[in-house]
Structure 1
Amino acid sequence: MVMPQGIQCWDEKGRIAVDLTDYNLRYMGGISLVFRRSESSKNVAFGGATQSGTIAIITTSSMNNPNDFSCRAYDGGFTIHYLPATNGWADTTLNIEVYNFE
């Protein structure tokens, strides 16, 4: 039996923003890092990551909701962004899983 796999994401208006259901995902690895209160974004080097073929997913956060953060891949890594306008939180440890898709 073949099980479908992939990921779908929608924007705030309910429109599909990412649809990876027709792709094979390959786990590249995980990373745990500290996102400092003073940071609004952070670049993270990650070998093998590409802008057009990598997705980084925040799985857990020590202090905040993981949905307060977003990741966007670039060639050689990914950038983490803190999404709320204000950062009334302490330093946060984020656990991130990185996948390639083809």
Structure 2
Amino acid sequence: MTQMVLCEFVMAYGEEVLMPAGLQCWDERGRLIVDLRDYNTRYVGSVSGTIDATAPQLFIPYSAATLSGCFGVIVSTKSNSQGYAAFPYEFSARAINGGIQIIRVGGAKNVTLTVDVYAFI
């Protein structure tokens, strides 16, 4: 079953904006599952890597990434396996010291992923 998630991203300042900056996501029951509105973040860069169809995970080197101060967001996926589509929700991205760890949670296929890296400031 596909889980529906509602996300709101606000980068604005003014009297009528209730949440001045950040990211919030809710699941299909209305529960808040991601809340980054209390954190200021900055875009650090973008990395790409290809995970083999038989690999459960992939490490993409990126020297600016740290375990305690960064996070990665999968922004695109491209299937390299003929006849199969690839979707971002089939993977999880985790920043670790020196790079981004990609963990497969979906089916086996060869996929090229692009991950944007952000740092907390």
TM-score range relative to shorter protein: 0.7 to 0.9
Gaps in structure 1 of 5+ consecutive residues: none
User: What residue is the counterpart of 1:75 in the other structure?
Assistant: 97
**Structure with more contact order per residue of length (Cα contacts < 8 Å, sep ≥ 6):** 1
Identity, % of aligned pairs?
A: 37
**1:36 corresponds to 2:58:** no
**1:46 corresponds to 2:65:** no
Alignment: residue pair count: 99
- 2:97 and 2:29 map into 1 onto residues whose CA distance is 29
- With normalisation by structure 1, the TM-score equals 0.79
For the aligned residues, what is the CA RMSD?
2.3
- 2:36 and 2:99 map into 1 onto residues whose CA distance is 19
- 1:81 and 1:74 map into 2 onto residues whose CA distance is 12
Cα–Cα, structure 1 residues 21 and 60, in superposed 2: closer, same or farther, change >3 Å? same
Gaps in structure 2 of 5+ consecutive residues: 1-11, 15-19, 80-85
- With normalisation by structure 2, the TM-score equals 0.68
